[in-house]
Amino acid sequence: MVIISTSTERSLLMSKIGAKDTKPELAVRKTLHSFGIRYRLHYKTLPGTPDLVLPKYKTVIFVNGCFWHSHNCPKGTSRPKTNKEFWENKISNNVKRDTMTKKVLTGLGWKVVTIWECQTKDLSSLQKTLLNLLPKKDSILR
């Protein structure tokens, strides 16, 4: 693990973390593509700008980082030791926004799926999860 000694170094490191084209997102995209599933990326006209939209299946996929969206895995439950109030507020607001976005999208008739960063580490498990999104008649891989 990298040891950050100053707040300037930490700030620089955190600023480099992107919201698009992350490794977990690319793993999900590659897996869907291998199944022949077509999708749209970062569809801005839908609430929350989902990472992937599968229009044919009326399904949106959010690929969430465990830390940033407070997943119940070891990475998601850890918190920085400095500036605790800031981080608690930031992550809490992310979770609230995720909940509201899911409610709105569900109300609009979309199926909302969240893939967590830790789920993308095991490729066979990720494939099974993504295959379960498809109706049985469309899945030639089952």
Instruction: Specify the CATH number for the domain of residue 32.
Output: 3.40.960.10
> Whole-angstrom Cα distance, residue 25 to residue 62?
9
Measuring CA to CA, which residue among 72, 70, 61 is closest to residue 26? Answer: 61
Does the pTM surpass 0.85? The reply is no
- Asked if the structure places residue 35 within a domain, the reply is yes
- Asked if the structure places residue 30 within a domain, the reply is yes
* Residues 6 or more apart in contact with residue 78 via CB below 8 angstroms: 67
- Asked if the structure places residue 140 within a domain, the reply is no
- Asked if the structure places residue 66 within a domain, the reply is yes
Domain total in the chain: 1
- Asked if the structure places residue 31 within a domain, the reply is yes
Q: Which range of residues forms the domain containing residue 93?
A: 19-134
Taking CA 76 as the corner, what is the angle to CA 118 and CA 87, rounded to the nearest 5 degrees?
Answer: 140
Count of C-beta atoms within a 10 Å radius of residue 48: 17
Tens digit of pLDDT at every position of the chain (142 positions): 556 667 677 666 655 565 666 889 999 999 999 988 999 998 889 999 999 999 999 999 999 988 878 888 877 677 777 888 888 898 899 999 999 999 999 999 999 999 999 999 999 999 998 988 877 655 555 4
pLDDT of residue 12: 65
Strands (DSSP E) found in the chain: 40-41, 52-54, 59-64, 111-116
- Asked if the structure places residue 99 within a domain, the reply is yes
